[in-house]
Amino acid sequence: MKLRFEDHGPLCVVQLEGELVGESSDSLRRACRERLEGGSRDFILDVSTTSGIDSAGLEALLELADAASERRGRCLIAGPETSLKTVLDITRVSDRLEIHDEVASATRVLR
């Protein structure tokens, strides 16, 4: 998995490319924790190029949402393909994380 970060003050847009599984989930946790400690509060996770996710990846998403919430921030998901959206719905992760079709619409919600 490749992670790319765009920092915009308290907002951090994270592009996740590839599969969010196993060790890559730990990489996401560590990198986002560093950004939280550096002052980021809100996260938009751009999953438009994420090809798969396992239980560790789902857990990482929920942990990030909780960590952002503790700092009075939010964590939004943007751009999931149909199969990923189905996984988020079936596992009820979508009940805890707001899902948007694209980064632009998620950004508007946070402004």
Please write the tens of the pLDDT for every residue from 46-73.
Answer: 999 999 999 999 999 999 999 999 999 9
For residue 40, what are the contacts with CB-CB under 8 A and spacing of at least 6? Answer: 7, 10, 11, 12, 32, 73
**Per-residue confidence (pLDDT) for residue 99, from 0 to 100:** 97
Determine the longest span between alpha carbons in the chain, in angstroms: 34
pLDDT per residue over 74-100, tens digit each?
Answer: 999 999 999 999 999 999 999 999 999
pLDDT, average across residues 17-43: 95
Per-residue model confidence (pLDDT) at position 111: 83
